[in-house]
Chains A and B, each alone.
Chain A
């Protein structure tokens, strides 16, 4: 599938009706989502025929992009049942399959090396401090091959240090810097649109040893 086609399909997805500010619900946006998954597949082969988990999937944009790029199985996880409802409608509209689980990422343990790749656009931690780190920590425990994630460019050094020193990453690379266009969604946003610099990261977890179950 070509990038433009992927971006177009993602652009037609339904998004949050009433985004919940305390969960930092922002749509990922077709532009970023398509480039993120396209890079993961074309540069690294981390999507097709793989098991992919979308952490904090919201309306399912990243996970659905993975299905469109021929992931073998995709599972989306989110704390909010309203978002998951929208994600399931989006999957139906695209005529693809995506498993969904309602849970809190920080409490997640996933037995076995079933998940190859984690993709995510986690909360930045502006509402709930440390939320971004909880997502990253869990992602590196769950993924057996790679984690793709978006974090504010201002946190770059902090993220790199935490991933390598504390969360079991063998590598942590910024693939590119993107401008994340956040439309004015919440009343407290003064400017019409907020444009922030985010890094697209690729983390590789250290090999894990599974005790027999």
Chain B
């Protein structure tokens, strides 16, 4: 698994919210891609990396996260400790925050693919870096 070579990563919950659209796409739809879809993950190699626990940061992030997407992405990456239902924000206890922390910040997709559920467009991930360059005919 982890060989200690490259330590850079993009946790799944960040990358799968990144989308590519042509600059002046206001009225246009690129191959049926409509703003609002999150990318699916096909994981080939996942690396677990230790990150300092910061509960204030986590509580702040909790309200910004699409819970279902995070839970699904984590499962795909081999971690299924997150509850499927969105937890009540008023009861974010330490035990929950540890799991949230792990899923959000410590699971890194080293090798795999991000897939747009709308178009099937695939974005490869190599050495932890997703390639999201659009082709000529997509812009």
Residue positions of A touching B, CB distance < 8 A: 49, 72-73, 75, 79, 81, 84, 87-88, 91-92, 95, 97-104, 106-114, 134, 211, 213
Residues of A within 8 A of B99 (CB): none
Q: DSSP class of B's interface residues: helix, strand, loop or mixed?
A: loop
Query: Taking the nearest CB of chain B, how far is it from the CB of A115, in angstroms?
Result: 9
From B20, B54, B64, B105, contact of A49 by CB (8 A): B54
| B51 CB–A CB distance under 8 Å | yes
A95 to B66: give the CA distance in the assembly, Å.
30
Give the total of B residues in contact with A, Cβ under 8 Å: 39
Residues of A within 8 A of B23 (CB): 106-107, 134
Query: Taking the nearest CB of chain B, how far is it from the CB of A132, in angstroms?
Result: 14
For B14, B49, B69, B133, the residue with the greatest tally of chain A CB atoms inside 10 Å of its CB is B14
Q: Mind listing 20 A-B residue pairs with CB under 8 Å?
A: A49-B54, A49-B57, A79-B133, A88-B129, A97-B9, A97-B51, A100-B10, A101-B130, A102-B133, A103-B130, A103-B133, A104-B133, A107-B23, A107-B134, A108-B18, A109-B18, A111-B19, A111-B36, A112-B65, A113-B64
Tell me whether B7 and A92 are in contact (CB under 8 A): yes
Tell me whether A110 and B66 are in contact (CB under 8 A): no
Tell me whether B6 and A92 are in contact (CB under 8 A): yes
Q: DSSP class of A's interface residues: helix, strand, loop or mixed?
A: mixed
A87 to B7: give the CA distance in the assembly, Å.
11
Given contacts A91-B7, A107-B21, A107-B139, contact A72 B129 (CB under 8 A): no
Residues of A within 8 A of B64 (CB): 112-114
Residues of A within 8 A of B132 (CB): 101-103
| B35 CB–A CB distance under 8 Å | yes
Tell me whether A100 and B128 are in contact (CB under 8 A): yes
Query: Taking the nearest CB of chain A, how far is it from the CB of B102, in angstroms?
Result: 14
From B6, B11, B38, B134, contact of A88 by CB (8 A): B6
Tell me whether A103 and B8 are in contact (CB under 8 A): no
Residues of B within 8 A of A88 (CB): 6, 8, 127-129
Chain B 106-139 interface residues, beta-carbon cutoff 8 Å to A: 127-134, 139
Chain B 1-36 interface residues, beta-carbon cutoff 8 Å to A: 5-11, 14-15, 17-23, 35-36
Residues of A within 8 A of B11 (CB): 73, 99
